[in-house]
């Protein structure tokens, strides 16, 4: 049994101890709880470390796989093309079609590998966390998307005055470019009109990317943010299903949240919420 013993000595005028007032309390239960808490904390710290390690391993695995697979894939494609060129007279139409399918598959695989590489790089971008003016980010993104924008008649992208936030510049361009490209890609029959709202509050930056596109059934609001999850075939809308997973990773690395509000045939708004307090950030 553990006890906590507190005593106070009462003395007479001459300073002699004449009485002692005290109390003794059984603190065995408190001790047990303290010990349990220490054990739980140690266990928690151990698990957090294991999780961080396995995350790191997974990321370097994704990086190595996507990087190293590109070379053998190049070999496959170039030898198939060589085969087609060199033995053109010997291969019948069906054979040529098979080669075409194989080359097409290899080229899709290459796109997936490049996207996977981009995904595994999130969080390791050069430049670190700095003040990033999101208006400048928008200007950059529009420059990058100029040819796409020009190819879609009457398409418009407008935005509110946007804040300057603490983030990585390259990742912010990636984030907004993915969302804006999707807003144009998943357009309906009417010309795409995209608007970027700034609804920030005292504590949070809140930015919404609204489009007037095909919209998303609420059944899939969570699914679309998972890597490789797509709602359409590659024939109808090209893509690998990594864009929104990259957006989620970028936002969550900044301790923020991303979600979608949408109605089929009306359009979608992708919301990004980031804490303002730099204490939260990295």
* Binding region for ligand ADP (CB under 6 A): 178, 182-183, 186, 211, 213-216, 224, 230-232, 239-245, 268
Residue 101 CB, nearest distance to ligand ADP (Å)?
A: 21
Residue 172 CB, nearest distance to ligand ADP (Å)?
A: 17
> Which residues have a Cβ under 8 Å from the Cβ of 133 and sit 6 or more positions away?
162, 164
Q: Which residue is nearest to ligand ADP (CB)?
A: 239
Residue 237 CB, nearest distance to ligand ADP (Å)?
A: 6
Residue 30 or 222: which CB sits closer to ligand ADP? 222
3-state secondary structure 104-119: HHHHHHHHHHHHHHHH
Residue 178 CB, nearest distance to ligand ADP (Å)?
A: 6
Residue 12 or 147: which CB sits closer to ligand ADP? 147
Residue 148 CB, nearest distance to ligand ADP (Å)?
A: 13
Residue 115 or 273: which CB sits closer to ligand ADP? 115
Coil, strand or helix at 210: strand
Residue 168 or 262: which CB sits closer to ligand ADP? 262
Residue 166 or 245: which CB sits closer to ligand ADP? 245
DSSP symbol at 20? E
Coil, strand or helix at 262: strand
Cα distances (angstroms) measured from residue 259 to each of 73, 251, 256, 268: 35, 10, 10, 10
Beta strand pairing call for 164-167 and 204-210:
unpaired
Residue 213 or 256: which CB sits closer to ligand ADP? 213
Coil, strand or helix at 263: strand
Distance of CA 252 to the CA centre of its chain: 6
Q: Distance between CA 40 and CA 53 in Å, rounded?
A: 20
| DSSP H/E element including 197 | strand 193-198
């Amino acid at each position: 049994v553990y006890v906590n013993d507190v005593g106070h000595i009462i003395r007479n005028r001459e300073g002699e101890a004449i009485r002692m007032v005290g109390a003794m309390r059984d603190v065995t239960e408190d001790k047990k709880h303290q010990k349990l808490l220490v054990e739980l904390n140690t266990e928690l710290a151990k698990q957090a470390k294991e999780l961080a390690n396995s995350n790191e391993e997974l990321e370097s695995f994704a990086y190595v796989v996507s990087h190293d697979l590109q070379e053998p894939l190049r070999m496959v494609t170039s030898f198939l093309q060589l085969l087609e060129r060199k033995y053109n007279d010997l291969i019948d139409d069906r054979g040529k079609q098979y080669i075409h399918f194989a080359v097409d598959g290899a080229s899709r695989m290459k796109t997936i590998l490049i996207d996977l590489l981009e995904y595994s790089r999130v969080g390791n971008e050069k430049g670190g966390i700095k003040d990033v003016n999101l208006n400048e980010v928008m200007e950059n993104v529009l420059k990058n998307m100029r040819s796409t924008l020009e190819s879609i008649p009457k398409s418009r992208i407008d935005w509110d005055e946007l804040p300057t936030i603490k983030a990585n510049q390259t990742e912010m361009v990636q984030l907004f470019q993915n969302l804006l490209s999707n807003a144009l890609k998943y357009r309906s029959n009417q010309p795409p009109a995209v608007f970027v709202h700034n609804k920030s509050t005292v504590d949070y930056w809140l930015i919404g990317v609204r489009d007037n596109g095909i919209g998303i059934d609420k059944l899939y609001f969570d699914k679309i943010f998972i890597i490789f999850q797509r709602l359409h075939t590659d024939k109808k809308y090209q893509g690998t299903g990594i864009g929104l997973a990259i957006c989620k990773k970028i936002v969550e690395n900044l301790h923020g949240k991303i979600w979608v509000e949408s109605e089929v045939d009306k359009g979608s708004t992708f919301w990004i919420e980031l804490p303002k307090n730099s204490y939260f950030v990295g």
